[in-house]
Amino acid sequence: MPKIRIVDVTNRDGEQTARIVLSKLQKTIINILLDEMGIYGSELGFPLSPHEWNYINTNVELTKLPDDDGKPVIKDLRLEGWSRAVASDVEASLSKTGLTHLNLSISTSQQMLEWKFRGKFSPDDIIKMMTDAVTAALEGGCTSVGINAEDASRTDMEFLKDFGLAGKEAGAEILRYCDTLGYDDPCTIADRMAWLASEVQMPLETHCHNDLGLAVANSVAGAVAVCEAGQNAYINTTVNGVGERAGNADLVSCILALKHSSGLADKGYLDERIDTTKAFKLARYVAGSFGLPIPINQVGVGANAFAHESGIHADGALKDRHNYELYAFEDLGRGHEEVARTGREILTGQHGGAAGLEYVYSHLDLAFRDGDHTREVLTLVQYANLANQQPLVEEELRFIYHYPEIARKLLTYTP
């Protein structure tokens, strides 16, 4: 049976949102949490950008570095880079990073050819640039390559077919259908992607923006249509739906729609590895890292997702949660009690010292071997606090303690 896998793009498309930014440590923790949740892939950034090189290479290193259980720190998550479909960009990216999967993107619509490229490239030029980039990626050591048709939803379908077939012949494995402006609706994207999957006979990936509030619906409809056409499908998501303009397709919403909606609950298309009990932890970490509070009505993870005040609803939910809840809060990793300190707090950060550091780590049941170990971790914590521009959280403190050399590389920038 064809399957739907999730490739999260929080660390690439999500982070290029205007007005927000992540540190390299935060991006790394997001990759680790995505891996723990069983997400198939993470488009982790831009390998052409020098400030990404240490981060990308250390994350590749984490796919090989053993944790306390002897398994890689990042166990199954496929790390994917994004590049323009320009052979020279691809060659430069691969010369500086250890990535083995690249997604190569180029605009395909007549709108973009005329008004973005200003008529410099013909449709044949676009295909030639893309295939040359695919060849460069494979010759440069990539084991798999995806091709992205930017503005696919406004692209002529025959040209999309030619684009996909040419990429496939060059060695590309996945064709990404980008609804760059959120222009599609569930009916049109399902029709277009089903036809495209049948014509090119290769896996397709949805990349949907939320300009009309349809990113999740479009992503699910498109991916299901591809499966029903006999091909594997991939959905690009971001955590909490963060993204350019009105955002991207929300990770949790897409997963819950595939698991619980009336027409899809029994289809079995969704990747079985996904563990939704990790969702709440991931959503809160990303919200804190971006400094963007989770909306109160956010699907699954918002404060009101399981809140009932109306008398009729409260009565029904207390009698049987199925009366007013499609899924249980426990399924999202919620329901635990949390304690907020109201008295003395000892924190650690850029101005912290050894005593405060030892106190904070003692509450994580972590001790230091000696003074040198304390000073090493303290220095890294100070720099991490500067990089994040906010107090460090448990996941970050633990990571620095267990992988100080990786943390040092993540915190190293050379302009």
* Average pLDDT, consecutive stretches of 10 residues, N- to C-terminus, the chain (415 residues): 97 96 98 98 98 98 95 98 98 98 98 96 98 98 98 98 98 98 98 98 98 98 98 98 97 98 96 98 98 97 96 93 95 92 93 97 97 98 97 98 98 92
Q: How far is CA 133 from CA 38, 44, 201, in A?
A: 30, 19, 21
Give me the CATH code for the 4-290 domain, please.
Answer: 3.20.20.70
Q: How far is CA 210 from CA 182, 304, 366, in A?
A: 5, 22, 43
Burial class (CB in 10 A: 0-12, 13-18, 19+), 388: buried
Residue with tokens 């298309």: 269
**C-beta separation of 48 from 92 below 8 A:** yes
pLDDT score of 188: 98
> What span, in angstroms and rounded, lies between the C-alpha atoms of 370 and 335?
39
pLDDT score of 299: 98
E strand or H helix at 206: strand 204-208
pLDDT score of 166: 98
| Partner residues linked to 179 by β-bridges | 208
pLDDT score of 39: 98
Q: How many other C-beta atoms are found inside a 10 Å radius of the C-beta of residue 31?
A: 25
> What span, in angstroms and rounded, lies between the C-alpha atoms of 143 and 131?
16
pLDDT score of 340: 85
> What span, in angstroms and rounded, lies between the C-alpha atoms of 156 and 179?
13
> What span, in angstroms and rounded, lies between the C-alpha atoms of 45 and 48?
9
Rounded to 5 degrees, what angle do the CA atoms 254, 255, 260 make? 105
pLDDT score of 339: 84
